[in-house]
Structure 1
């Protein structure tokens, strides 16, 4: 069988199952700076200031189990900020809210801030190239915030998720799914952490046991699904590829959406570029 690869796999939407939607809205809208585009029943849908995108969905699930302090399927989300000025405005919002900072590092004109949202999902926010992070030192958040101009009260259209890092108890199966089922490429492997690359999107994998790792996503808080926007030709190619592998998947009657579960239980959505956005 010929090696399969999606022609492009940029991450469009991350969906999180949450307990307290209002508290999470306050964090992602008022501190991080997402634009709350609309609310639909239990969903809160976020994007950037102007662009027609849905970067983040929060789905309120009050009966899902918290598993506070336990290992989760989602290890970390990475959010790219396109300019230092915008990073400074975001740093100022964090400091003004007196929000806890897990870590803040800088190296060679690249800076990163690590926080946890109110329900324990890690969010890494960074500006500059991660490839330049050699021997980083502590980032002076006060000095960065002093550069704030107020130009970016909401995240700009250049902001996007570029990496998601997952915990899994089925490392080999998860790697096989990413590499051979949906066609991402192994780019780097160091210290037991796998970094897979597919176009503008990267996945990191770490092995773990317990917590929510082997529980159904519907039953627990945290990462629910990932959605990608791909060419229509990739929808047909992926459907054919999954059928040949005898992998279960769903495809809608218009053949514009494919969903498939990975071995960790996370649902991956692939949506045709021809399907209209909301």
Structure 2
């Protein structure tokens, strides 16, 4: 492993959202996205695929709405293992909700929608890695073409929940500047830049297409507060990787706090990131 980069086994862990209305949000992620409720009370709900927790909903009835100029979440992207599972998701969306968009990205097939609080959601499945195209510079080629939703829907099996081996493939953020994001996520944290487009950068551990996306398309500039993204996790394969990452972050002058389960740090836009094994 290169000590300046995160190991290729690195992956996204849980994502936590602050919501003012808990019940309709839980119902959306259960009935439309297809997660199952693992634990819930008046203050919090934990949802996931199988027994794996993926999403934490923190209930804060008095939390102010996210300001139009505030950085934060663009979308959280749930990855399913097959086209059949994507077809099942599409059928749930068409039955229970409204599809905002659908794209073939060359590396994946993706469905886009928004939860009841306006948080962006992507449900996608990857094409086999051998089919991904790379540029001469080693970046991955991603495109945005229309998705053949009819053939995706035709692959559905009628399943009402995400398969147990579904996960969160990536988190896409709205940031104040691409350079701010790159300085933190690439230079300090140790992700590799995998693609750059007008107003956006995509970064990953190893040769994945992206674990983190960051864009400035809505010209957001204020630190995030209130409803929306509370924090998200990056899971590292072992303690050695966690220690090396902590050292890099501190050398880059980011304040790192040790917790009972790992580390907490805030990126250049004050978005909370939790690191654990």
Per the normalisation by structure 1, the TM-score is 0.82
Equivalent residue, structure 2, for 1:248: 255
Deviation at 1:94, TM superposition (A): 1.5
Note the alpha carbon deviations across 1:26-83, whole angstroms, 9 max, x for none.
000111110110025522111112xx42211111111111147666511122222211
Deviation at 1:3, TM superposition (A): 6.1
Tell me if the contact between 2:100 and 2:112 (Cα under 8 Å) persists in the aligned partners.
yes
Structure 1 gaps of 5+ residues are 273-278
Tell me if the contact between 2:262 and 2:275 (Cα under 8 Å) persists in the aligned partners.
yes
Equivalent residue, structure 1, for 2:136: none
Equivalent residue, structure 1, for 2:139: none
Name the SS for the 1:54 alignment partner.
strand
Name the SS for the 1:246 alignment partner.
coil
Deviation at 1:149, TM superposition (A): 2.6
Among 224, 233, 252, which residue is 2:230 paired with?
A: 224
For residues 78-227 of structure 1, what are the structure 2 equivalents within 5 Å? 78-97=77-96, 99-106=97-104, 111-129=109-127, 131=132, 136-141=145-150, 144-150=152-158, 152-199=159-206, 200=208, 201-207=210-216, 213-217=221-225, 220-227=226-233
Equivalent residue, structure 2, for 1:36: 37
Are residue 20 (structure 1) and residue 25 (structure 2) matched? Answer: no
Comparing 162-171 with 260-269, which one deviates more in the overlay?
162-171
For residues 253-272 of structure 1, what are the structure 2 equivalents within 5 Å? 256-272=261-277
Deviation at 1:135, TM superposition (A): 6.7
Name the SS for the 2:53 alignment partner.
coil
Tell me if the contact between 2:84 and 2:157 (Cα under 8 Å) persists in the aligned partners.
yes
Cα distance in 1 between the residues matched to 2:46 and 2:120: 19
Cα distance in 2 between the residues matched to 1:144 and 1:117: 22
Are residues 225 and 134 of structure 1, via their aligned partners in 2, closer, same or farther at CA, if it must alter by over 3 Å?
A: closer
Note the alpha carbon deviations across 1:195-247, whole angstroms, 9 max, x for none.
11124552222126776x52343xx1111111122211122222333333332
Cα distance in 2 between the residues matched to 1:109 and 1:234: 27
Cα distance in 1 between the residues matched to 2:162 and 2:154: 18
Tell me if the contact between 2:15 and 2:232 (Cα under 8 Å) persists in the aligned partners.
yes
Are residues 166 and 135 of structure 1, via their aligned partners in 2, closer, same or farther at CA, if it must alter by over 3 Å?
A: closer
Note the alpha carbon deviations across 1:132-165, whole angstroms, 9 max, x for none.
8757335335x64454333x32211221222222
